[in-house]
Structure 1
């Protein structure tokens, strides 16, 4: 009886609690239903905010290798889901969201479990974000841990599921997620860690990558290789549990040596920095986009730069320049046949000074300008290779004798006699050059310079012959391409093509090509300029460094040293000097030619040496060096000289012997008769 009374009392005591619990359950259920209804309403009516999904613009060299990413150290490249390895997709789903293709953006069980843990710990400790929620957070929200952010995240995740297909969401996620070291997305990560496209990733590589986003620094194979390998095994185990792979596959993939991580690039983003800056400026002009869109618009910029040649240029300058000096250098090299810029070095240290000296128009080219003068003179037939002028101190009057010009040779060295054009080019004789411009006229020289692509200011005065008006190394290299390419000049080109994220072509190069000189003139000038490397020539000291036919011209002023030269494959301009125009020493004045020679040989290593091809309209004859006339059998010296057909000498030398005179009449046979005959001739 007492037990029944006790049970009855307990029931009466428990009824209020049960009623309260029932009401609480009803209230909670109602709240959840109302919340879900409100969420459903918001999903239908509230649009997604604008996504923050910047993608770096990539600049590629001629071989398809990335030179730079134009987004402040952020590397991202969007690819289609079909261009991502199935192994990476399976690994990511296994470790991040196994029910991805089953839920609608929210994992309710996981969310409730996370909420219960947070309540128990009175903090925001647990997360149960689906892959869609992670994408929503990355696209639209900050990463702060607040309930407000979580509600928005759930809303946007549901909206994403309503707006896009599962494959589209997965594609966006794999292109958005951060993989450490400044790279976003599977494609950029695959190239950074393994040097390959995302579609080519193996199972071990995919498992490693899939584990990184949980803690990009902690699981970086570069920073913490042991932790990265442990995380890789965790991913492989998850793939086994989902049936994506077998246990045997997991064991094989988890073995040491199953993947090889390539080293991080040194000084990332600093490959050919002067060229990259130049391309960035060109791209802005070509596409007409603002700086932000250029950097974050996901463009692909394909350039002409040859990384092997670029490395040769940088190494040549580093080897040939003093390490303890503020002496600067610049180099630009162009393929004469195409106009493609193959290498560009704008200075010795971009980090210290990003000013690109390749385009500096404050430097006098000195005697390296003379080939432009002689091209004009040969074109107008004002001189030929055997035209002779005296090499001696000379006073020149011009502008109707109102002005006087008194040039001098380097170190006041003169031949004190007549010399021809080949000797003048070989020894860089200034008196010969000024005689030529006086014979030709300065306006003709300016006209030739303009045809060759030089746009800098040039005045029609005799000193123009000696390169006294500043031009840029870029202009000089561009001009000399016509000499190397049989008289054809192609507009210099750095950018071949620009495409947008979808591959649509926004810009494509169509460089202008023009026949500036006759092939015969270009060949004759090249043949003359090869003499610079002969004994006594201004380039003789580097002749042993060159193993292929090369033409060129040095130039030296008080503050500048130049060497501009070419082979049939490359035209290169090298400048050496001080930024503030300080005078250079005699030793510093000889640094440009060795840089040119070392670069040319290394840049063309493996390329067969080709001679300058002899075109129609060129003739070669033996001449007497003392007179410039056709050599006779009695001339003690003779030289083979090349001419534009029709300008070669036709008169034979009569200075040595009488072999080219009319045959002497037979004289009297008697001694007395011979004496009388001789006396008559003497008289």
Structure 2
């Protein structure tokens, strides 16, 4: 009996141990299953929209991010990891997360170390957040300190590690983190602090910027230079301890004198800010989108902007205006073939003034308006390129002889009998007024309207000299008609808008062309306008900077300087002046032409030069420049000129006596004095079967 009792007592502890073992195994199994289910749930669940995704983004024609529409004033430019300086990447990892490539989103060892130090000091002196945790906070969470937020942070951190590679997480982090003064992401920060792309940051600059996110206000070199330098030293020391650099390299970087952007130079706004503002107005005012949707709807806006052309435009304006306190400028460039806006600069400095001068309708275009009038004369066949007027001081009578008008040529220079080519090249005012009186101001205005000019135009002789104010946008639109063989295409900036899921909310219709004038008339005028950049032309001083066929017209008033011109690919208007109507000095009045030249050549440097297409109904013949009649072998000075077929001179020059009673036209052949390769090619093409 006693044995049985003892034996039963021995069984109870054994049974209890088995029960505890089973419970432990069961609990462990439940834990593993729970972790697996949680892992599966997190893996299959979509991450919420990030704050940057909720903001609408605007893209260039090639898909580059231009700007973010946000009422928080965020400036963000997304770049690839390969477009970020390796020094900045190393400095960030050494400072923020040395175990980044070894952990799964949480640095357990770092968390334990931080907990020990904080308990020892009885305050929070060290954190242990990984880059992934910081990214989760910045992308998806507010800055409130609650347990629920910490749980969400852990979940989002795990999801980021599951769904993205380490390289992708690092790229997202460097494009998202806040660097102060409205700059989000390293590209915006590099541009704001140093005026250079992130890929060009050196070690010293990288160490400064890598230290800013810990306290964007406290460590900003603009706010507290000493704090910024102290933080830079910590970053450099961290890089030494991780073996990224030597102590000698750290000391040299710390001693480097950094060149920060001045307040006037720096901007915390997006690339192409004037274009961004224009796109906003188009989306809200023309396309009917609500502003709240634009700010928080996560729209993806695809535009026509060519980022390389835009950068060329901004650089050209900056190179000529420099740090001028008040001088303003505008540049608008449109592809005449489809109306797409490729570049837009609305002013000299967006930080100083957000007024977009591209759309200012208070500026007189001066002589740059003349080609519109000459196109009317050619298209109506009331005049030809050989039509002559006497360039001399003239008192014009108009309005049934009740009014008079007495224009002057610049510098009181008068050329005598000249034709249209000479008048355009030298910008002769007397010839221009003779032309508008012959053609009729009303007819000129009617054509201007068809070409895209909507500003009020006064039907007076001075209209020929550009006295009615017109915006640069209208001028580029009108000249695009000339460059597009007489066809008009409405300018467009927004091509497509989608929501965050890619659903198309708006898509621009295919460009609709309207034939405004015959191609031959547009080509003849184009050929005449090329003379502006040749010897004796008002744009000749910048001709060496443009290594391709180009046509254009300068315009100068006491307060405005213009050059409006085009190639087969771009129609560009450049304006320079003061906002308050201050008189331009001689040097200031000459800045529009070099801006145009620098922009055109840089924007098209990857595009092979092309001649302007020659329509079938164009003929070229030799004329006598003195009489405008067909030249004979006896004419000492003859020149090759272009005409709309059927408008060319029919009479031979008789001022030079010939022994042959029946003179014949001189065969058209290449002029030996022709210097430009495209002129040789063009003459050959015209002579092959057009003459």
Distance change in 2, residues 1:177/1:287 (3 Å): farther
Q: Is the 8 A contact 2:75 2:269 kept in 1?
A: no
Question: How many angstroms apart in 1 are the aligned matches of 2:276 and 2:409?
Answer: 41
8 Å Cα contact 1:180-1:212 kept in structure 2 = no
- In 1: Cα distance, 2:366 partner to 2:410 partner: 11
User: 1:135–1:176: 8 Å Cα contact kept in structure 2?
Assistant: no
Question: SS at 2:488's partner residue?
Answer: strand
Distance change in 2, residues 1:643/1:212 (3 Å): same
Give 1:454's aligned residue.
Answer: 453
Residues 140 and 404 from structure 1, CA distance in 2 versus in 1: closer, same or farther, beyond 3 angstroms? same
> What residue number does 2:570 align with?
570
Distance 1:216 1:76, change over 3 A: farther
2:649 is the alignment partner of 1:649: yes
| 1:319 maps onto 2:319 in alignment | yes
TM-score, normalisation: structure 2: 0.67
Contact 2:138 2:177 in 1 (8 A): no
SS at match of 1:626: coil
2-structure distance, mates of 1:168, 1:321? 47
Out of 357-366 and 335-344, give the one that drifted further: 335-344
The residue matched to 1:653 in structure 2 has which SS?
coil
Alpha-carbon separation, structure 2, partners of 1:189 and 1:322:
28
Q: Tell me, yes or no, if structure 1 residue 428 matches structure 2 residue 421.
A: no
Aligned residue for 2:57?
A: 58
Residues 1:278 and 2:274 are matched in the alignment: no
> What residue number does 1:23 align with?
none
Q: Tell me how far 1:426 sits from its aligned partner.
A: 1.3
Pairs within 5 Å for 1:44-443: 53=51, 55=53, 56-71=55-70, 72-73=73-74, 75=76, 94-96=103-105, 143-144=144-145, 149-150=146-147, 181-182=177-178, 267-285=267-285, 287-321=287-321, 323-324=323-324, 326-416=326-416, 418-443=417-442
* Alpha-carbon distance, 1:255 to partner: 7.4
CA distance 1:141–1:272, change in 2 (3 Å) = closer
**CA offset at residue 646 of structure 1?**
0.6
Change (3 A) 1:539 1:170: same
Q: Distance in 1 between matches of 2:583 and 2:122?
A: 74
SS at match of 2:525: helix
Contact 2:52-2:139 at 8 Å conserved across structures: no
Residues 395-446 of structure 1, C-alpha deviations (whole Å, 9 max, x = no match):
2222222222222222222224x22111111111111111111111111101
Relative distance call for 1:74 and 1:372 in structure 2 (3 A) is closer
Question: Which whole-Å deviations, capped at 9, do the CAs of 1:541-563 have from their partners, x for residues lacking one?
Answer: 22222221111111111211111
CA contact (8 A) 2:330 2:574 kept: yes
How much does 1:515 deviate? Answer: 2.1
> What is the Cα deviation at residue 285 of structure 1?
3.1
Q: Does the 8 A contact of 1:532 with 1:540 survive in 2?
A: yes
Cα offsets for 1:17-58 (capped at 9, x unmatched): xxxxxxxxxxxxxxxxxxxxxxxxxxxxxxxxx999563222
Which stretches in structure 2 are left out of the alignment for 5+ residues?
1-47, 79-96, 192-209, 221-227, 247-259, 664-691
Any idea what SS the aligned residue of 1:448 has?
A: helix
Change in 2 beyond 3 A, CA 1:256/1:488: farther
Aligned residues: 543
State the Cα distance separating 1:616 from its structure 2 match. Answer: 0.6
Residue 611 (structure 2) pairs with residue 619 (structure 1): no
Matches within 5 A, 1:556-635: 556-635=556-635
Separation (CA, whole Å) in 2 of partners of 1:176 and 1:539: 48
Change (3 A) 1:317 1:190: closer
Superposed CA deviations along residues 477-514 of structure 1, whole A, max 9, x for unmatched, are 11111111222222222222222111112222223322
Q: CA deviation at 1:308?
A: 2.0
| Shift in Å, 1:74 | 6.3
* Residues 179/274 of structure 1: CA separation in 2 closer, same or farther (3 Å cut): closer
Between the aligned partners of 1:307 and 1:137, the Cα distance in structure 2 is 28
Out of 571-580 and 370-379, give the one that drifted further.
571-580
Query: Aligned pair in 2 of structure 1 residues 494, 502: CA closer, same or farther (>3 Å)?
Result: same
Check the 8 A contact 1:568/1:611 in 2, yes or no.
Answer: yes
Question: Shift in Å at residue 359 of structure 1?
Answer: 1.0
State the secondary structure of the residue aligned to 2:622. strand
Gaps of 5+ in 1: 1-49, 78-87, 100-109, 196-210, 235-253, 258-263, 664-683
Query: Residue 478 of structure 2 aligns with which residue?
Result: 479
2:58/2:68 contact within 8 Å kept: yes
Indicate the structure (1 or 2) with the bigger Cα radius of gyration. 1
Instruction: Indicate whether 1:513 and 2:513 are aligned.
Output: yes
TM-score, length of structure 1 as denominator length: 0.68
What's 2:537 paired with?
537
| 8 Å contact from structure 1 (residues 341, 494) kept in 2 | yes
Q: Please say if residues 336 and 482 of structure 1, whose CA atoms lie closer than 8 Å, have aligned partners that are also in contact.
A: yes
- Label 1:180 to 1:465 Cα distance change in 2 as closer, same or farther (>3 A): closer
1:125-170 CA distance string (max 9 Å, x none): 99999999997999686523xxxx43x659x969x99xx9x96997
Cα separation, partners in 2 of 1:599 and 1:255, compared to 1, 3 Å: closer
Matched residue SS, 2:614: coil
Aligned counterparts of 1:653 and 1:214: Cα–Cα separation in 2: 80
Question: Structure 1 334/643 Cα, relative in aligned 2: closer, same or farther at 3 Å?
Answer: same
Alpha-carbon offset, residue 292 of structure 1: 3.4
Q: Structure 1 pair 335/177, CA: closer, same or farther in 2 (3 Å)? A: closer
Q: Are the equivalent residues in 1 in contact too, given 2:77–2:188 (CA < 8 A)?
A: no
1:555 alignment partner, SS class = strand
